Amino acid sequence: MEFPSPVSVGWLAELVGAELVGNTAAHAKGINEIHKVEEGDIVFVDHPKYYDKCIHSAASVIIINTLTDFPEGKTLLIHDQPFEAYLKIVKHFRPFNPGTNSISDSAVIGEGTFVFPNSYIAHDVTIGRHCLIYPNVTIMDHCVIGDNVIIQPGTVIGSDAFYYNSKKDREVWYKKMQSCGRVIIENEVEIGANCTIDRGVSHDTIIGQGTKIDNLVHIGHDTVIGKNCLLAAQVGIAGAVTLGNGVVLWGQVGVSKTLTVGDNAVIYAQSGVPASLKGDKIYFGSPVEEAKDKMKELVWVKRIPELWKKVMGA
């Protein structure tokens, strides 16, 4: 999430009640979780396992629960509960704002766009020109929809990320990381019925220009779908995934988190993707392999009874 304008680290320290160490004259431009952090951002870390990764990331300001070595020019905000400090910042810039109208007064809707009855358009949503938003569509706060976009009935754009801070030493193990990111849907995208596209935890979920999405598809937080992709029904994509341009996922493909699928890859139906894949190839299976190799394997599997008889007969 980018702040409306940069804020001083001194003000941040006062807001969350943290000790300020390092570059005390710095300003932060936004807040992000580690997978999407950029220069000028704040990030939090509360486990020694991840100290080094966060401190040496692009982040300029690190909320941390102990003083440790850090590169020159960076700022530490030392707080005994970094996650709670993170939440306080998020809630300050993205406070709960209940919607009382079916279309918020702060929403901007372009010329030629038609919103059917029973849809809900939340605060600070921007919708481009010549779009069709069918009945019972929900578009949550701060989402951005391009031109010539079609969203079929029952779809939810901008639902909260499935993302939790976990600690086994407290009564409630999983505590929600409040989502403050957006969904950005580019021009000429079509989204089927009853799809769910989660907003970024603190950054953007992006659906690239010309991509077509079938019914009952789920896309997780901070995922970036390239241009002109094709996603068939019941595809499920976890958080922080990157699909290149022209990727095709056929029905019921499942894609695990924080991986990349290269341009023009095709993945056949009911496949499971546990790791990154190169582009310009066809894949099948769970876990996926190149389809030509998987098909050969299946042929040999079918011959096992025949081969077994030969072995026993020998």
Contact (Cβ atoms closer than 8 angstroms) between residue 183 and residue 204: yes
At a CB cut-off of 8 Å and minimum separation 6, what does 203 contact? 1, 32, 33, 36, 181, 222
Q: Is-catalytic flag, 27? A: no
Residue 313 CB coordination number (10 Å) = 6
In degrees, to the nearest 5, what angle opens at C-alpha 99 toward C-alphas 98 and 100? Answer: 120
CA 87 to chain centre: 18
Q: Which of 27, 203, 218, 221 is catalytic?
A: 221
192: closest CA among 240, 236, 153, 247?
153
SS3 52: helix
Kindly report the backbone phi and psi dihedral angles of residue 298, in degrees, each rounded to the nearest multiple of 5, phi listed first.
-65, -35
Contacts 24+ apart (CB under 8 A), 8-15: 9/61, 9/75, 9/77, 12/42, 12/61, 12/77, 12/89, 13/77, 15/88, 15/89, 15/92
Annotated catalytic sites, by residue? 221
